[in-house]
């Protein structure tokens, strides 16, 4: 089987994993003979679905012995199979990297034979990259559930980021849809990596030459829409993962029906892309804007508002905290203003250090006032009469691009999603920033 | 020296030349109405002061800015100078002038009109540099890596470190066809040099990896998430000419066909594609 064939099959099988980021590591080029990892990461291309291509995202093999119902690589599926040799994969990574196609490698795998055999195979590919090629670029590797802890540890010494996918948002769903996996086998590697990272941090302080262990931290992914959990459940789970395991990122992957199964949504179900988008926005609030999950969503209304982004929803139900004076509000509060993102808030803070800001200046700073104007004052002045009740506010915020009569998640989402996209939304669709 | 008539400056287009112009303006205690590059100058009835590029003057201005106005202002001046567009010299000159009047804090006054103009130029230059870190593509020609780019602004100095760090042991060349310059790197040394034109050796060899990359690109997209608007926002069309992965799409004007639907259909498409690749 030639490389063309292998790559086509193993990319096809890998693409349902949402993660792509190459950020957070910062290896310097002096650590190797080729490659360096930028702390901020870099997207080298965007696929036709608009997702960032930063890493060569492939499976080591898709010849799985497991039979998870939602997965295209599951044993019982009739699908072309392929397996890279470690050397083939290392060489391909280097050749793509030299040409500036990618920032590094994202290596995952189906379970071939046993979890241990699979991990050893992956470790060998990473070893060739790091030791033989002297590769100091970014590597993200997936820990295989059920593998020996020693192997997870060795993987962590070679990779920048390791992730263990929790796959589904609850144990019940995991048991019914991924019969070969258990909550324990999924969470065990996560715990191991967390402990490894903490010990490594102490060692790095004590001994200068300690090798780095998972320097870019760990992440996980869960499938949204294959099982009945609510956004409320998912966001609290996410918050727990950030706190308990110190994760860097939680990825959500809208479930795409690929096969008929009584336990899964029907084949003609549209992937819940809007829901996924709202979850990323809410997740961004947790990670960067200092929100708690309980501020974003309450058990009475356990799904995020489809029409209004979660920051806007929060602001609308806390009108008593607005308007904020842009010349005085602290950075954290600026971030809570709908329409002001990280870039905008930083520019405001920088500019107002040397002069008081008025609305013209805000515009020059590139602050989009379309939504923000309802929530801010500049030198005590407002640009717009501020609606008094949350209902009026929602109506005001929505009216310019309101789409008639949709209340239901899951229905007609794609057609809704597209006309609702503004330039701003599109920029956000990757970063989750808004 | 200034006798009240409208004055414009002409200089050689180099950064040192521009700093010499700043020096002259301070000496004359007058801001010119415009600053143009010798070659671009149109016949004019206005009085023209021909700036002589003087490295000592340039150095003194640079040190003056760094000492009196601080690193932020100097960085903004250097970066904005990489901007390629009309009125750049004039905007930077006014900014420097204002900064000497109002002090260090000028660099922070990005809401102010004069400062904002320079700030926006810096943002544009940074964005362009980031785009070329992302979308520059090398072809391998007998072991040397070659890339051609057409950036809006002169960003070679800003992408130098990025590429030299990544592939420090390679021989590579990035040719900026828009500004007639190239970044040339060997394991021993790196330089940005003026290059008028470049004969790109036609090489068959690199077809293998660019072909693999194209195939990868096609198979990594998810059909039911197809979103051309989002892609174009992040990967503007003007960069597509460098990108092997969208070459066919750019030529044909058609979006690629996707394997859609069920796992069985996807498997079928994949098998067909593999057969096609084998031919
Ligand atoms: S273990 Fe499950 S999810 Fe992973 S490749 Fe195998 S079938 Fe798919």
For chain B, give every domain's residue range: 6-127, 136-194, 204-278
- B20 near B53, Cβ under 8 Å? yes
Q: How far apart are CA A254 and CA A410, in angstroms?
A: 11
| 3-class SS letters over chain A | CCHHHHHHHHHHCCCCCCCCCCCCCCCCHHHCCECCCCCCCCCCEECCCCCEECEEEEECECCCCCCCCCCCCCCCCCCCCCECCHHHHHHHHHHHHHCCCCCEEEEECCCCCCHHHHHHHHHHHHHHHHHHCCECCEEEEECCCCCCHHHHHHHHHHCCEEECCCECCCHHHHHHHCCCCCHHHHHHHHHHHHHHHHHHHHHHHHCCCCCCCCCCCEEEEEEECCCCCCHHHHHHHHHHHHHHHCCCEEEEEECCCCCCCCCCCCCCCCCCHHHHHHHHHHHHHHHHCCCCHHHHCECCECCCCCCCCHHHHHHHCCHHHCCEECCCCCHHHHHCCCCCCHHHHHHHHHHHCCCCCCHHHHHHCCCCHHHHCCCEEECCECCCCCCCCHHHHHHHHHHHHCCCCCCCCCCCHHHHHHHHCCHHHHHHHHHCCC
- Please say whether the dihedral angle defined by the alpha carbons of residues B240, B242, B243 and B244, taken in this order, is positive or negative: positive
Q: Is the pLDDT of residue B2 over 70?
A: no
Residue A64 Cα to ligand 1 middle (Å): 6
SS3 at position B206: coil
pLDDT above 80 for B259: no
Q: Do A273 and B215 touch (CB under 8 A)?
A: no
Residue intervals of chain A classified under CATH 3.20.20.70 are 3-291
For chain B, give the longest Cα–Cα distance: 84
Distance between CA atoms of residues A316 and A312, nearest Å: 6
Cα(A255)–Cα(B89) distance, integer angstroms: 54
**CB burial of residue B101 (10 Å; 0-12, 13-18, 19+):** exposed
Mean pLDDT taken over chain B: 90
Atom of ligand 1 nearest to the CA of A67: 7
pLDDT: is B225 or B58 the higher one?
B58
Q: Assign B1 a pLDDT band (cuts: 50, 70, 90).
A: very low
Quick check: A73 and A13 in contact, CB under 8 A? yes
Residue B198 near residue B175, CB atoms below 8 Å? yes
Tokens 């947790």 correspond to: A286
CB neighbours of residue B52 within 10 Å: 12
A25, A104 contact by CB (below 8 A): no
How far apart are alpha carbons B179 and B84 in whole angstroms?
A: 9
- The pLDDT score that the predictor gives to residue A414 is 32
Chain B residues with CB under 8 Å of A271 CB are 224-225
Nearest residue, CB atoms, A42 vs list B134, B138, B256: B134
Query: Which tokens sit at B89?
Result: 């010299």
Contact between A170 and A232 under an 8 Å Cβ cutoff? The reply is no
Q: How many CA atoms lie within 13 A of A74 on its CB side?
A: 17
Residues A2-45 pLDDT 10s: 899 999 999 999 988 776 677 777 777 777 889 888 877 889 99
| Closest-CA distance of chain A to residue B117, Å | 9
Q: Which residues of chain A have pLDDT under 50?
A: 399-434
For residue B93, which of B19, B38, B16 has the smallest C-alpha distance? B19
CA-nearest residue, atom 2 of ligand 1: A68
Contact at 8 Å (CB) between B234 and A52?
Answer: yes
Residue B110 structure tokens:
């990005």
Token readout for B168 is: 């420090």
Q: Are A22 and A42 in contact (CB under 8 A)?
A: yes
Q: What tokens does A142 get?
A: 């997936």
Say if the Cβ atoms of B229 and A48 lie within 8 Å.
Answer: no
Q: Enter the tokens of residue A247.
A: 């994760």
B180 DSSP 8-state letter: T
Give the pLDDT of residue A20: 66
- A164 Cα to the center of ligand 1, angstroms: 13
What's CA A411's distance to the chain center, in Å? 24
Q: Backbone phi, then psi, for A63, in 5-degree steps?
A: -85, 80
Please answer whether residues A178 and A62 qualify as being in contact, where contact means their C-beta atoms are separated by less than 8 angstroms. Answer: no
Q: Enter the tokens of residue B162.
A: 């990025």
CA distance A219 to A238: 11
pLDDT at position A388: 73
In this structure, is the dihedral angle defined by the CA atoms of residues A306, A309, A310 and A315, taken in order, positive or negative?
negative
Torsion angles phi and psi, residue A163, rounded to 5: -130, 145
A-chain CB neighbours of B221 within 8 Å are 15, 47-49, 51
Ligand 1 near A68 CB (within 6 A): yes
Tens of pLDDT, residue by residue over B110-134, are 999 999 999 999 999 999 999 999 9
Find out whether the beta carbon of A111 lies less than 6 Å from any atom of ligand 1: yes
Peptide bond into B7 cis (omega under 30): no
Q: Whose CA is closest to A326, among A297, A298, A352?
A: A352
Q: Give the chain B residue nearest A429 (alpha carbons).
A: B230
Q: Which residue of B has its CA nearest to A101?
A: B137
Nearest-Cα residue of chain A relative to residue B106: A354
Q: Which CATH class is domain A3-291?
A: alpha beta
Residue B84 tokens, joined: 């390629």
- Interface A:B, Cβ pairs < 8 A: 209
pLDDT exceeds 90 at position B227 = no
- Nearest 5°: CA angle at A367, between A366 and A369? 130
d(CA B118, CA B80): 6
**Chain A residues lying within 8 Å of B138, measured CB to CB:** 98-100
Whether residue A97 lies within 8 A of chain B, CB to CB, comes out as: yes
Distance A293 CA to ligand 1 centre (A): 30
- Residue numbers in A near B254 (CB within 8 A): none
Q: Quick one: pLDDT at residue B199?
A: 78
Interface pTM, i.e. ipTM: 0.93
Substitution site in A9, A18, A71 for ligand 1 pocket (most atoms within 8 Å of beta carbon): A71
Query: Considering only residues 241 to 260 of chain A, which have any Cβ-Cβ distance to chain B shorter than 8 Å?
Result: 254, 256, 258-260
Is the separation of the CB atoms in B111 and A362 below 8 Å? yes
- Are the beta carbons of A423 and B277 separated by less than 8 Å? no
Quickly count: other Cβ atoms within 10 Å of residue B277's Cβ: 16
Chain A partners within 8 Å of B215 (Cβ):
4, 7-8, 11
Which residues, 6 or more positions from B12, have their beta carbon under 8 angstroms from its beta carbon?
B37, B38, B51, B53
The answer to whether A195 touches A5, Cβ cutoff 8 Å, is no
What's the pTM?
0.89
pLDDT of residue B205: 59
Q: Judge contact between B155 and B130, C-beta under 8 A.
A: no
Main-chain dihedrals φ then ψ at residue B191, nearest 5 degrees? -155, 150
Question: For residue A313, what are the contacts with CB-CB under 8 A and spacing of at least 6?
Answer: A296, A304, A305
**In this structure, what are the phi and psi dihedrals at residue A35, rounded to the nearest 5 degrees?**
100, 155
Asked if A48's CB is within 8 angstroms of B258's CB, the reply is yes
Strand order in the sheet with B139-141: B139-141, B144-149, B172-176, B181-185, B190-194
| Mutational test site, ligand 1, from A69, A178, A179, A255, max ligand atoms within 8 Å of CB | A178
């Amino acid at each position: 089987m030639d490389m063309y064939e292998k790559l086509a099959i193993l990319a096809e099988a890998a693409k349902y994993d949402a993660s792509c980021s190459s950020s957070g590591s910062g290896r310097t080029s002096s650590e190797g003979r080729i490659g360096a990892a930028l702390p901020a990461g870099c997207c080298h291309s965007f696929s036709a679905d608009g997702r960032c291509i930063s890493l060569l995202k492939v499976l080591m093999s898709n010849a799985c012995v497991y039979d998870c119902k939602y997965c295209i690589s599951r044993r019982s599926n009739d699908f072309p199979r392929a397996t890279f040799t470690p050397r083939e994969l290392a060489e391909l990574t280097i050749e793509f990297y030299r040409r500036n196609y990618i920032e590094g490698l994202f290596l995952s795998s189906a379970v071939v034979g046993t979890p241990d055999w699979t991990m050893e195979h992956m470790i060998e590919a990473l070893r060739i990259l790091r030791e033989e090629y002297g590769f100091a670029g970014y590597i993200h590797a997936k820990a295989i559930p059920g593998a020996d802890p020693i192997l997870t540890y060795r993987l962590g010494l070679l990779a920048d980021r390791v992730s263990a996918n929790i796959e589904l948002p609850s144990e019940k769903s995991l048991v019914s849809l991924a019969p070969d996996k258990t909550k324990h086998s999924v969470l065990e590697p996560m715990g191991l990596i967390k402990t490894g990272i903490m010990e490594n941090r102490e060692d790095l302080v004590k001994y200068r030459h300690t090798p780095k262990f998972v320097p870019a931290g760990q992440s996980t992914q869960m499938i949204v829409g294959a099982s009945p959990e609510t956004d409320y459940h998912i966001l609290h789970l996410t918050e727990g993962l950030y706190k308990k395991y110190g994760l860097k990122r939680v990825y959500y992957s809208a479930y795409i029906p690929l096969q008929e199964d009584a336990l899964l949504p029907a084949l003609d179900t549209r992937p819940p892309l809007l829901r996924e988008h709202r979850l990323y926005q809410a997740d961004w609030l947790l990670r960067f804007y200092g929100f708690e999950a309980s501020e974003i969503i309450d058990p009475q209304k356990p799904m995020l508002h489809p029409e209004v982004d979660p920051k806007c929803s929060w602001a609308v139900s806390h009108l008593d905290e607005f308007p904020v004076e842009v010349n005085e509000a602290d950075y954290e509060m600026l971030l809570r203003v709908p329409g002001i993102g990280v870039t905008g808030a930083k520019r405001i803070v920088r500019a107002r250090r040397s002069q008081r800001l008025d609305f013209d200046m805000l515009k020059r700073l590139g602050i989009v006032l379309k939504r923000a104007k309802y929530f801010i004052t500049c030198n005590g002045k407002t640009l717009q009469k501020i609606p008094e009740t949350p209902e009026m506010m929602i109506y005001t915020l929505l009216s310019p691009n309101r789409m008639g009569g949709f209340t239901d998640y899951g229905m007609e989402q794609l057609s809704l999603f597209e006309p609702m996209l503004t330039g701003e939304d599109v920029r956000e669709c990757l970063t989750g920033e808004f | 020296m200034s006798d009240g008539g409208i004055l414009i400056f002409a200089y050689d287009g180099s950064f040192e030349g521009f700093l010499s112009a700043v020096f002259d303006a301070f000496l004359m205690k007058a801001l010119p109405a415009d600053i143009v590059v010798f070659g671009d100058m149109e016949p004019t009835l206005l009085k023209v002061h021909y700036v002589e590029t003087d490295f000592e003057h340039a150095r003194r201005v640079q040190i003056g800015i760094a000492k009196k106005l601080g690193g932020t202002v100097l960085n903004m001046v250097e970066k904005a100078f990489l901007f390629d567009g009309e009125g750049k010299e004039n905007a930077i000159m006014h900014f420097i002038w204002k900064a000497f009047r109002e002090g260090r804090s000028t660099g922070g006054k990005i809401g102010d009109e004069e400062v904002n103009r320079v700030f926006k130029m810096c943002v544009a230059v940074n964005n362009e540099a980031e785009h070329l870190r992302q979308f520059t593509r090398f072809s391998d020609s007998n072991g040397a890596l070659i890339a051609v780019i057409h950036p809006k602004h002169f960003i070679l100095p800003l992408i130098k470190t990025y590429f030299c760090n990544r592939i420090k042991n390679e021989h590579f060349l990035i040719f900026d066809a828009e500004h007639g310059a190239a970044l040339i790197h060997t394991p021993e040394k790196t330089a940005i040099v003026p290059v008028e034109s470049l004969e790109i050796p036609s090489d068959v060899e690199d077809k293998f990896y660019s072909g693999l990359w194209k195939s990868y690109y096609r198979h990594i997209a998810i059909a039911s998430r197809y979103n051309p608007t989002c892609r174009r926002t992040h990967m503007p069309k003007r960069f597509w000419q460098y990108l092997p992965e969208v070459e066919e799409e750019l030529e044909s004007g058609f979006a690629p066909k996707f394997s859609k639907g069920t796992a069985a259909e996807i498997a079928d498409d994949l098998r067909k594609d593999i057969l096609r690749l084998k031919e």
